């Protein structure tokens, strides 16, 4: 390197050194100067942050107080007014109001206000009815968004009152939202434009959410209270109605006994107490089964029917009712009508109505006795009339001309009819008066049926009315317990009807079969049948059908009533079936209890 070059390098180094020194000094000076600025700045920022924290603390406290107020009070108006008061206090607002949506007409209604005491703006506190979307409140609700308006007079969303309020210039409005729903709007006002800060808006929004929850809770509470009140009223009305019905049931002269679905006695009125000889207080709540012994054997079918319906409500057919005359052990005769209580296909229990017919039965018995006596007294003169008429016809008093013979024949046949009637009447009235007793013994029904059928066969031969009679019975048919003469009478009477009301060349089948504890007799014919409208009456005294074959056949209408009484006396049952179509005939069935060796 030449000297010149070395000098240049040296100058270069010197210059570089000077520059570095200058830079270091400058930077030292700068650092000193910035340190001097930093301290007050930091201090200021700390002070600002402290103030901010204090405000936040205050805000949080306010929020907590609002929360406390609105959640502690069930009085919504008080809570809302307190909230607005607190809010005004915290953010320095002069007025505050809460507007809510009315669910019925979807309009916005004024609900609470604070700071409206100033006389010049009382108009602003009047209830408002804005539609959703109308005015600032409507805008906030529709857009679900808070708004801070520096000066309402510059904002087109603001709907000015007819009298402009000098106090409502600066406004914050925040939605009251619960979940997805906006239920109203909270608003605060100040007369100075630009008074409120965005921070105030956050505060109003935060309080708005709390208020919304509180309002929602209060509305739910009101709804629940209303419903509870309504339910309470309904219950009270039902209780009143139930008491009224109970009073009616209590007042009726007939005995009423109600059982529930579990066969427990639910209600007994005072007439039932008297008739059945019970006390309501020891009866209600007890199972009906506990009283079977008390009521006696006669009530077995009644209690069994109730039990069957309770255990299997499907066994009940619509329209099924049960009626029976019960001879109670306390000597009373009671007519019981039983019906199930079904509500919306549910079996709720049964109602039994009892009527004490002891007196009626006694009167009826007296009447039967009277008829029995009269019929008995009529028999003697009738026998002699018929006897003498027959004697005259036989020529015992000399020869008769044709006319005399004809007249005497009429006398004789009518006396014959009359004596049948008197005999039937005597029979029935004696049975009804309880003057007929049965001499029960084991009976082979097949033998009795064969004998009765033999009589009809002979009659058909004499009258030359061809009839096909058939007995259908198993060889091992068990014996029944009955009175031979009376069981024969039952079978003869039914066979006689089948023969008389079936045209020539008809068929009669007598079918015998053991069914549970009884033997069932079915007597089927293919005669004229019985019209459905007559079927309910054929066991009534003196009832006779209108069929031409019936009208042409002499009869008294007393045969079936006698048969029914006799079957009942044997503790059997009797019923009939017929389509009412001529040629399809009828089937009369009855049962007799099986003979049990130990009896």
Binding site for ligand ADP (CB under 6 A): 497-498, 501, 525, 527-530, 538, 543-545, 550, 555-560, 586
Least distance from ligand ADP to the Cβ atom of residue 502, Å: 7
Least distance from ligand ADP to the Cβ atom of residue 430, Å: 17
Nearer to ligand ADP, 66 or 530 (CB): 530
For residues 190 and 560, give the distance between their C-alpha atoms in angstroms, rounded to a whole number.
Answer: 105
Tokens (6 digits) for 127? 């209830």
Least distance from ligand ADP to the Cβ atom of residue 521, Å: 14
Least distance from ligand ADP to the Cβ atom of residue 549, Å: 8
For residues 301 and 310, give the distance between their C-alpha atoms in angstroms, rounded to a whole number.
Answer: 14
Least distance from ligand ADP to the Cβ atom of residue 554, Å: 8
Least distance from ligand ADP to the Cβ atom of residue 583, Å: 11
Nearer to ligand ADP, 480 or 498 (CB): 498
Q: ∠ at Cα 325 (324, 328), nearest 5°? A: 125
For residues 273 and 292, give the distance between their C-alpha atoms in angstroms, rounded to a whole number.
Answer: 15
The SS3 call for residue 483 is coil
Nearer to ligand ADP, 13 or 551 (CB): 551
Least distance from ligand ADP to the Cβ atom of residue 434, Å: 21
Contact call for residues 153 and 169 (beta carbons, < 8 A): yes
Nearer to ligand ADP, 59 or 586 (CB): 586
- Give CB contacts under 8 A, 24+ apart, made by 69-76: 70/210, 70/211, 70/213, 70/214, 71/214, 71/217, 74/218, 74/221, 76/214, 76/215, 76/218
Closest CA to 421 of 228, 555, 282, 594: 555
Nearer to ligand ADP, 176 or 421 (CB): 421
Least distance from ligand ADP to the Cβ atom of residue 317, Å: 26
- Give CB contacts under 8 A, 24+ apart, made by 564-568: 564/539, 565/428, 565/431, 565/432, 566/431, 566/486, 566/487, 566/489, 566/490, 567/490, 567/591, 567/592
Nearer to ligand ADP, 66 or 538 (CB): 538
**Helix%, strand%, coil% for the chain, nearest 5:** 55, 20, 25
CA 594 to chain centre: 44
Please state, in angstroms and as integers, the Cα–Cα distance from residue 468 to each residue in 63, 350, 513, following that order.
107, 48, 21
Tokens (6 digits) for 135? 């005015």
Tokens (6 digits) for 560? 């079936």
Least distance from ligand ADP to the Cβ atom of residue 469, Å: 13
Nearer to ligand ADP, 190 or 500 (CB): 500
Neighbours of 3 (CB within 10 A): 7
Nearer to ligand ADP, 258 or 558 (CB): 558
Least distance from ligand ADP to the Cβ atom of residue 288, Å: 37
Tokens (6 digits) for 51? 């103030």
Nearer to ligand ADP, 75 or 466 (CB): 466
Nearer to ligand ADP, 280 or 531 (CB): 531
Nearer to ligand ADP, 285 or 548 (CB): 548
Least distance from ligand ADP to the Cβ atom of residue 573, Å: 17
Residue 536 DSSP symbol: T
Nearer to ligand ADP, 111 or 488 (CB): 488
Nearer to ligand ADP, 136 or 495 (CB): 495
559-569 vs 402-432: helix crossing angle, rounded to 10? 30
Least distance from ligand ADP to the Cβ atom of residue 598, Å: 36
The SS3 call for residue 26 is helix
For residues 354 and 443, give the distance between their C-alpha atoms in angstroms, rounded to a whole number.
Answer: 37
Please state, in angstroms and as integers, the Cα–Cα distance from residue 368 to each residue in 365, 418, 424, 434, following that order.
5, 19, 12, 9
Q: What are phi and psi of 351, to 5 degrees?
A: -120, 130
Least distance from ligand ADP to the Cβ atom of residue 556, Å: 5
Nearer to ligand ADP, 134 or 534 (CB): 534
Least distance from ligand ADP to the Cβ atom of residue 501, Å: 3
Secondary structure of 103-171 as H, E, C letters? CCCCEEEEEEEECCCCHHHHHHHCCCEEECCCHHHHHHHHHCCCEEECCHHHCCCCCCCCCCCCCCCEE
Strand ranges in 405-460 using DSSP code E only, listed in sequence order:
441-443
Closest CA to 491 of 503, 478, 482: 482
Tokens 């007995």, residue located: 471
């Amino acid at each position: 390197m030449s000297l010149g070059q070395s000098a240049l390098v040296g100058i270069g180094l010197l210059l570089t050194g000077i520059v570095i020194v200058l830079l270091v000094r400058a930077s030292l000076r700068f650092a000193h100067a910035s340190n001097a600025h930093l301290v007050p700045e930091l201090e200021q920022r700390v002070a600002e942050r402290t103030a901010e924290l204090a405000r936040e603390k205050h805000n949080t406290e306010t929020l907590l107080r609002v929360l406390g107020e609105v959640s502690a009070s069930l009085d919504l108006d008080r809570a809302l007014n307190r909230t607005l008061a607190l809010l005004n206090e915290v953010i320095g607002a002069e007025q505050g109001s809460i507007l809510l949506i009315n669910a019925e007409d979807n309009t916005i209604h004024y609900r609470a206000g604070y700071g409206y005491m100033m006389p010049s703006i009382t108009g602003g506190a009047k209830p408002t009815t804005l539609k959703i979307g109308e005015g600032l409140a409507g805008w906030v609700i529709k857009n679900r968004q808070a708004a801070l308006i520096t000066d309402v007079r510059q904002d087109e969303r603001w709907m000015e009152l007819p009298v402009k309020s000098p106090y409502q210039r600066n406004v914050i409005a925040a939605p009251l939202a619960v979940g997805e729903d906006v239920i109203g709007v909270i608003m605060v006002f100040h007369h100075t434009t630009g008074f409120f800060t965005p921070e105030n808006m956050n505060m109003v929004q935060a309080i708005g959410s709390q208020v919304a929850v509180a309002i929602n809770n209060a509305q739910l509470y009101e709804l629940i209270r209303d419903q509870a009140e309504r339910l309470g009223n309904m219950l009270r009305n039902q209780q009143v109605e139930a008491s009224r019905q109970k009073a009616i049931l209590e007042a009726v002269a007939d005995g009423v006994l109600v059982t529930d679905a579990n066969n427990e006695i639910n209600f007994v009125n005072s007439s039932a107490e008297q008739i059945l000889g019970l006390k309501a207080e020891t009866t209600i709540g007890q199972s009906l089964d506990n009283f079977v012994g008390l009521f006696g054997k006669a009530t077995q079918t009644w209690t069994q029917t109730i039990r069957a319906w309770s255990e299997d409500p499907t066994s009940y057919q619509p329209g099924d009712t049960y009626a029976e005359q019960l001879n109670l052990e306390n000597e009373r005769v009671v007519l019981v009508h039983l019906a199930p209580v079904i509500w919306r296909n549910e079996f709720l229990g049964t109602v039994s109505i009892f009527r004490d017919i002891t007196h009626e039965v006694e009167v009826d018995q007296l009447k039967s006795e009277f008829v029995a006596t009269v019929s008995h007294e009529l028999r003697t003169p009738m026998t002699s009339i018929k006897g003498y008429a027959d004697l005259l016809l036989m020529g015992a008093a000399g020869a008769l001309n044709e006319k005399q013979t004809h007249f005497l024949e009429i006398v004789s046949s009518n006396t014959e009819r009359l004596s049948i009637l008197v005999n039937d009447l005597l029979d029935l009235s004696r049975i009804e008066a309880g003057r007929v007793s049965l001499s029960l013994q084991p009976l082979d029904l097949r033998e009795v049926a064969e004998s009765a059928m033999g009589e009809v066969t002979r009659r058909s031969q004499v009258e030359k009315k061809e009839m096909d009679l058939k007995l259908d019975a198993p060889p091992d048919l068990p014996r029944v317990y009955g009175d031979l003469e009376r069981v024969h009478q039952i079978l003869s009477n039914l066979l006689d009807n089948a023969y008389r009301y079936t045209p020539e060349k008809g068929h009669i089948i007598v079918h015998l079969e053991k069914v549970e504890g009884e033997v069932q007799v079915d007597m089927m014919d293919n005669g004229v049948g019985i019209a459905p409208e007559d079927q309910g009456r054929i066991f009534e005294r003196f009832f006779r059908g209108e069929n031409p074959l019936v009208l042409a056949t002499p009869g008294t209408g007393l045969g079936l009533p006698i048969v029914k009484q006799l079957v009942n006396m044997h503790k059997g049952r009797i019923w009939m079936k017929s389509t009412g179509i001529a040629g399809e005939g009828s089937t009369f069935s009855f049962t007799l209890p099986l003979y049990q060796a130990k009896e």
